[in-house]
A and B are shown apart, each in its own frame.
Chain A
Amino acid sequence: MDLLRLATAGSVDDGKSTLIGRLLYDSKSIFEDQLESIETTSANRGDEHTNLALLTDGLRAEREQGITIDVAHRYFATPERKFIIADTPGHIQYTRNMVTGASTADLAIILIDARIGIQEQSRRHSYIANLLQIPHFVLAINKMDLVGYSEDVFRQIKADYTEFAGRLDVHDLTFVPISALHGDNVVNRSANMDWYQGATLMHHLEEVYIASDRNMVDVRFPVQYVLRPQSTEHHDYRGYAGTVTGGVLRAGDEVMVLPSGLTTRIAKIETADGPVADAVSPMAVTVLLEDDIDVSRGDMICRVNNQPTVTQDLEAMVCWMSDSTQLRQGAKLAIKHTTRWARAVVKELRYRLDINTSHRDESVDHLALNDIGRVRLRTTQPILADEYSRNRYTGSFILVDEATNVTVAAGMIVDPT
C-alpha cells in the first residue's frame, strides 16, 4: 500500500468540506461517535441535512461561525492506498493556508460549483497549485444535482477550464462531475449521469500513478545530523544522517560534498535495520564516507558531475504569509533551505503577481499578506540551490522574521544563478 497526499481547494460554498465528509463517510472512515456528535450539532443548529462539513471544522470558532480557519488534516485508507488530505480553507487568507496545506501534495482537487462555473477563486487556487508544482490536478465539478445532472453544463466548464489551464504548466488534468451532497461519482458511481464514462473521484485517487513524480536523477543528500557515538564499540564511527531528497544514492558511488567541493566515495549506506545498497527519496538513512573529510549539518552530498548551484544570490517566487509585516527591499530575514540556516537580504522586489490576471506589477514597493512576487535575495552563506521545478525540496526555502521568529514567507527558487 502506498501513500497519496492530496490538497483540496475551494470555498465553503463550493462544498469542499461536504466532499471531504463524503469521501470519509462513503469509504467508512467516519466513526459512529463522530457521526453522532455532528448529527447532534447539526440538529441543534437546525441544519436541513447532517452537516458533513462539521467533521473537518475542528476549532470552536470554526463551528460557531461555520467557517474554516486553518488547514486540517484528514486520513483515510482503501485497500489500494492510504490518503492524507490537507483541507485548506478557501476564502480567508487563502494563499497562506493553501501553501501550508499543499506544499507537499501529490494531487490537488479543485472544486467548481456547477451552477457558477470557473470563478476568480478557481483560477487563484489553480495558479497556486501550479506554482507549488502539484503534479496532478482533479477538477471536481460539484453540485451537479442542482443543474439537473446536465452533460452540457459539465462540458462547458471543462472547455472553459481547459482553455484557462493552457496558460499553466499542468501535466495531468482530470474532470469529474459530482454531487458531494448526494454522493454521485464520489465513491459510488452516479445513477444520474449515464453520459459520464470516466472514473469516480475515489477510483481516480486510488489509481493515479505517482511513483514517477519524484526526482530520481539528481542525487541530493542534505546532511541533517552527524552521528558520532562515543563508545568503544563504535570508536571511529562517523555517520551522516539525513533524508534523501533526490536521485539514487548507492554504496561505492563517487560523491562530492558541498560547499567544500571535496570528493570521496560512499563507503556504506546504513539504516537502523541494517545496511542498504541504495537509497531513494524520501528515505531517512545514514551515509558513511570512505575518507575522513570535514562534513557538517547543512552540507550536501551529491554526484561529482551533477551538482546544485552553489550561490549567495537567489532568484525566487515568494508567497508572503505575515499579516503584521511586509516584504520590502532591504529587509533582512533568516532563511532556511534544506538543513541550512543563513541570513538573507532582499536585494530587489522585481514584481508582484496578480494571480487573477497573471499581470506583473513592477511598480509595487512591498508584498503584503497573501501576495506572491518575484524577488532577488543575497544570502550570508552559500545556498545549495536547485530550481523548484526540478526538485521541490532542494528548490524551496522559508524566510523567518528574526524579531518574532515567525515564518513569514515560502520561497521557490526559479533560476539559481
Chain B
Amino acid sequence: MIGHGGGGKLSSELVEHLFVPAFRNTALENLGDASVLPGIGGRLAFSTDSFVVRPLFFPGGSIGDLAVNGTVNDLAMSGAKPLYLSAGFILEEGFRLELLGGIVERMAAAARRAGVLIVTGDTKVVERGHGDGVYINTAGIGLIAAGVDIGPTKAHPGDVVIVSGTIGDHGMAIMSVREGLEFDTVIESDCAPLHELAARVMAAGEVHVMRDPTRGGVASSLNEIAASSRVGVWLDEPSIPVQPDVQSACDLLGMDPIYVANEGKLIAIVAAESAEPVLAAMREHELGTRAAIIGRITADHPGLLVAKTGIGGTRVIPMQLGEQLPRIC
C-alpha cells in the first residue's frame, strides 16, 4: 500500500525498486534532477497529456498503456517520430502497490512497443480521498523529419478523409466495464501506438492533416479541423466503420459512436490523388486493416461537419457538449 508522506524514503524506494528497473535506460538511471539527452538535429514536437481513466484496467488496456500511447500518438499526429517521455504519478494514499506495479509494467511494455524511452519522472502522494487511485501525466518529445508539413490548418477543399479503422471501440470498452452494465460480449479497447502507421501514411502520399480522435471521437476531431482550416467536412455516414457490438452498445445507451473515444485510430486528410495509396498503405498495417475513406473536405459550409445519413438525409454533427449521457429509454 502506498503510505502518505512528503516524498523522502518512500519515493526513493518506488524509484529504485519499481520505476528504474521497469523503464531502464541510461538517461533515467543517472537519477539527476533532470535527464540529459543527446542532441537531436531538427524540428521537435513536444506534447503532454494527463490520464484519469476509471477503471484503471479495462479490456484491451490499462491507464499505463493509455499514458504511453496517448502521448506517443499526439507526437505521431504532428508527423514526429516519438523519442522520449516523462511520467508523473499522482498516487492516492492506500493505493495498492501491486496495482501500481502492474500499471508500471504495462507502461514499460507500451514504451518498448512504441520505441520510446521514459527518461524522467516524478511521484506525489495525496491523502486518501483526494485522488482516484492513480493519475498519470506523460509528456513527450519527438523528432519531425525534414519536409514533413502537416497540421490542423492544412485541410484543403477536395482533400479526402480517411479513418484507419472501426470507431468508438475504446470508449465503449470503458463504458462496458463500468458499474451496472453487463454486456454478453467483451468490447476491447483499441489502445495502440500509432507512430508506425502514421509513418506509413506519410510515406504513401501527400498528407495534410493527421489526428487521433480520442475524447469527443471522430466528430470532435473533424469539427476542430473544419474550424482550424476554415473548410467544411462532408462525411458519408454509412462508410464509417463501426463494429457491430460497439454499434449495439451505443444504440442501447442512446450514444453515437462518432462521439465515442478512440485510442488507436487516426484520421488522415490527404490530397485526392493520394487517397487510394494512403488507404492501401493503412490496410497493409495491422492497425489499419479496416481503414476506410469516409468523406472529403469541401469549400461549402466552412466550419461545419455535415454527414449524409444511411437513408440519404443530411445532418450537421456539431461539437459535443461534455460527456455523452446514457438516455432513459
Q: Do A and B come from one complex?
A: no
Residues of B in contact with A (beta carbons under 8 Å apart): none
Residues of A in contact with B (beta carbons under 8 Å apart): none
